[in-house]
Amino acid sequence: MSRERKTVNAQITGVGMWVPEKVLDNKYFESIVDTSDEWIRTRTGIQERRILEKGATSDLATNAIKNLMENTGLKPDEIEAIIVATVTPDYFFPATACLVQDNIGAKNAFGYDLSAACSGFIFALQQGASLIESGRYKKVVVVGADKMSAITDYTDRNTCILFGDAAGAVLLEPTENLEYGLQDSVLRVDGSGRDLLIMKAGGSAMPASKETVENKLHYIYQDGRAVFKVAVKGMADVSAEIMERNNLTGGDIAYLVPHQANLRIIDATAKRMGITRDKVMINIQKYGNTTAATIPLCLTEYYNAGKLKKGDKLVLSSFGGGFTFGSIYLVWSMD
Ligand code: UT7
């Protein structure tokens, strides 16, 4: 739908999040792999991350939506659609969205899972917004949820220190005031990067077997250095593009809300956008990389802390496996 012909925008009217209680700090990783607190802090910005000991991604997502419902008064039967962004679904099928729908009793909702790795939330938010903009749906819940510990090899120091488990959710509703809500998005995929960040086995390309288990092919594989280079460029490129398209300068933007994979990638993106650190949402130190959950986690924490106000211009940006990358420009409409 072209921007000119829209009669409503999708606006975020509620936020919620959930993280498990168990904390793994950097010291713990010193005891299981050859690493140091200093290396992890300086190379990534991470200090600790949360791990779900019992349950699955649907439990993370369910708890985040329950928090959203507490915060907003939203009733389960009012929800019309649930989009779950995840790369760690409970099962191939049924979709995690079905399990979440049943857990919360959203008896009037349809839903589906969206697989776009670290860009999952951004892609799902645009999908949810499109449902609202179509005029057909009035209450859409978008969740980013990942139990990364389920696919992390805790003997691989290259990856195990990076990831955590969490979920964050937002409620989308229409607004006729087109100055608010989602204004624009730049979304991209580049499948030529597929081998650099991948879970190699378990899908139809390489079904599970004794060999795939023995060779640890059901875990995250990442060529960190190669992904780092393209992530810095990719995230900065889409962020710069959305600013140009909307005539925004660094001074116009209240917050950059970046995917939390590495503090150095976040800093490089902010620098390219002409934005100072105080205008960047950062919580990587507490949760690590929670894949599809990082951005809604940031939105929820900053909103709950009273740091977001009506009219704030936000740019959400991400880069992840696939490759997938994207930016969304939105104007915050909650008091
Ligand atoms: O979330 C979606 C997309 N993913 C990303 O955006 C992640 C992008 N990549 C990164 O964030 C970084 O590449 C990492 C944090 C994964 C790694 O940081 P780096 O500065 O790129 O390190 P490196 O991979 O270039 O490795 C430097 C050295 C290597 O040793 P040698 O070969 O120089 O002897 C690694 O073996 O650091 C070593 N190393 C470690 N040392 C201590 C790798 N992991 C660790 C570790 N502790 N945990």
Query: Given pLDDT bands bounded at 50, 70 and 90, which one contains residue 4?
Result: low
Beta partners for residue 197, in sequence order: 222
For every residue of 172-232, which 3-state class applies, written as one string?
EEEECCCCCEEEEEEEEECHHHHHHEEECCCCCCCCCCHHHHHCCCCCEEECHHHHHHHHH
Closest C-alpha residue for ligand 1 atom 8: 228
Closest C-alpha residue for ligand 1 atom 48: 157
Asked if the domains 3-181 and 182-331 are classified in one and the same CATH topology, the answer is: yes
Tell whether pTM > 0.95. yes
Is the pLDDT assigned to residue 183 strictly greater than 80? Answer: yes
Q: What are the tens digits of pLDDT across the range 287-314? A: 999 999 999 999 999 999 999 999 999 9
How far, in Å, are 86, 101, 103, 127, 143 from residue 114 at the CA level? 6, 15, 19, 9, 10
> What average pLDDT does this structure show over 64-84?
98
Is the pLDDT assigned to residue 215 strictly greater than 70? Answer: yes
- Please give the distance, rounded to the nearest whole angstrom, from the Cα atom of residue 56 to the centre of ligand 1: 28
> What average pLDDT does this structure show over 207-232?
97
Residues 19-37: b if buried by 16+ CB within 10 A, e if exposed: bbeeebebeebbeeeebeb
What percent of the chain stands above pLDDT 70? 99
> What average pLDDT does this structure show over 84-110?
98
Is the pLDDT assigned to residue 333 strictly greater than 60? Answer: yes
**Is 5 a pocket residue for ligand 1 (Cβ < 6 Å)?**
no
pLDDT the model gives residue 6: 86
Contact between 320 and 261 under an 8 Å Cβ cutoff? The reply is yes
H helices then E strands: how many in the chain? 11, 13
Instruction: Report the CATH fold assignment for 182-331.
Output: Peroxisomal Thiolase; Chain A, domain 1 (3.40.47)
pLDDT the model gives residue 5: 75
Domain boundaries, the chain: 3-181, 182-331
Q: What are the tens digits of pLDDT across the range 236-251? A: 999 999 999 999 999 9
Query: Given pLDDT bands bounded at 50, 70 and 90, which one contains residue 9?
Result: very high
pLDDT the model gives residue 3: 56
How far, in Å, are 117, 243, 266, 293, 319 from residue 189 at the CA level? 11, 19, 20, 19, 10
The CATH class given to the 3-181 domain equals: alpha beta
Q: What are the tens digits of pLDDT across the range 312-332? A: 999 999 999 999 999 999 999
**Is 9 a pocket residue for ligand 1 (Cβ < 6 Å)?**
no
- Please give the distance, rounded to the nearest whole angstrom, from the Cα atom of residue 218 to the centre of ligand 1: 20
**Is 261 a pocket residue for ligand 1 (Cβ < 6 Å)?**
yes
**Best CA proximity match to 294, nearest among 182, 147, 168:** 168
- Confirm whether 218 is a catalytic residue: no
Q: What are the tens digits of pLDDT across the range 133-160? A: 999 999 999 999 999 999 999 999 999 9
- Which residues, other chains included, contact 324 with Cβ-Cβ below 8 Å and sequence gap of 6+? 116, 117, 118, 119, 120, 123, 188, 189, 318
Probe ligand 1: pick from 123, 199, 228, max atoms within 8 Å of CB? Answer: 228
Contact between 133 and 1 under an 8 Å Cβ cutoff? The reply is yes
**E strand or H helix that includes residue 301:** helix 294-304
Contact between 321 and 197 under an 8 Å Cβ cutoff? The reply is yes
Alpha helices in 73-186 (DSSP H): 96-104, 120-133, 157-160
